[in-house]
Chains A and B, each alone.
Chain A
Amino acid sequence: MNIFRLAGDVSHLVAIIILLLKIWKTRSCAGISGKSQILFASVFVTRYLDLFTIFISLYNSSMKIIYISCSIATVYLVYFKFKATYDGNHDTFRVEFLVVPVGGLSFLVNHDFSPMEILWTFSIYLESVAILPQLFMISKTGEAETITTHYLFFLGLYRGLYLINWIWRYYFEGFFDLIAIVAGLVQTVLYCDFFYLYVTKVLKGKKLSLPA
């Protein structure tokens, strides 16, 4: 465990908590893509099935359980508790365009053709594109609440830190997982445009709004 990996996990956790708190405190999930949240919950559920098969560390298991519970809680808040505030009209990204190709790819390109491994690969590929419905929603409405942009920032930061973590592990441990690295790169690139807006607008105290 290096500092980049730990910082990555922490910012991932911060992102998840920010989103949960935002929805809970404002009693509203306006501007949040329920579809992205369902995708993230599916990512965690399919990836962390190994909770039942192997034990890596207390840290590893507890983080997995926290991620899964928080993501399912978020889906529950969006689709049940605060459903009335959910902006379904603007959450129109066609998720089948992500899930079907990602599903197909995970059957074709994986480390081992076994159910657990295919599900793990599926979750890695799916995570890399799971934010697209959320970004699509923001591009459609042309704006995002500042707290939502903080959520996206920490989610992107987590991916960026994981990339540094992989460079570190490659040099110091000879660790190299091409599937995770390529998917992680794709995922980080998707945040670049957003990062630019975050730095140029949100950090200067302006609301994130896109030119019409």
Chain B
Amino acid sequence: QLIVKQKDEL
């Protein structure tokens, strides 16, 4: 299962 979003990027 792929993680769709995880906003730890800039």
State A118–B5 Cα separation when bound (angstroms).
13
Which residues of the other chain, A, contact B4 by a CB distance below 8 angstroms? Answer: 111, 176-178
- Chain B residues with CB below 8 A from A54, complex form: 7
- The reply to whether the CB of A174 lies closer than 8 angstroms to some CB of chain B is yes
Q: Which residues of B contact A12 (CB under 8 A)?
A: 10
Whether B10 pairs with A64 at a CB distance below 8 angstroms is yes
Residues of A within 8 A of B9 (CB): 5, 162, 165, 180
A9 contact from B3, B5, B10, Cβ within 8 A: B10
How many residues of chain A get a CB closer than 8 Å to chain B's CBs?
Answer: 22
Q: How far is the CA of A178 from the CA of B2 in the complex (A)?
A: 11
Count A-B contacts at CB 8 Å.
33
Determine if B5 and A56 form an interchain contact, defined as CB atoms under 8 angstroms apart.
no
Asked if A60 and B5 sit within 8 Å, CB to CB, the answer is: no
Q: In the complex, which residues of chain B have a beta carbon less than 8 angstroms from the beta carbon of A120?
A: 7
Main secondary structure of the interface of A (DSSP, over half): helix
Cβ of B3 and Cβ of A67 under 8 Å apart?
no
Q: Which residues of B contact A180 (CB under 8 A)?
A: 9
Q: What CA separation (Å) do A12 and B9 show in the bound complex?
A: 12
With both beta carbons as reference points, the residue of chain B lying nearest to A60 in the complex is identified as B8
Minimal Cβ-Cβ distance residue in B for A8: B10
Question: Is the CB–CB distance between B1 and A174 below 8 Å?
Answer: yes
A143 in the interface (beta carbon within 8 A): no
A63 to B8, CA, bound (A): 11
| Closest Cβ–Cβ distance, residue A67 to chain B (whole Å) | 7
A87 within 8 A of B: no
Residues of B contacting A9 in the complex (Cβ-Cβ under 8 angstroms): 10
Interface of A with B (CB < 8 Å)?
Answer: 5, 9, 12, 50, 54, 56-57, 60, 63-64, 67, 111, 120, 162, 165, 173-178, 180
17 A-B residue pairs with CB within 8 Å: A9-B10, A50-B7, A56-B7, A56-B8, A57-B8, A63-B10, A67-B10, A111-B5, A162-B9, A174-B2, A175-B2, A175-B3, A175-B6, A176-B2, A176-B3, A176-B4, A177-B6
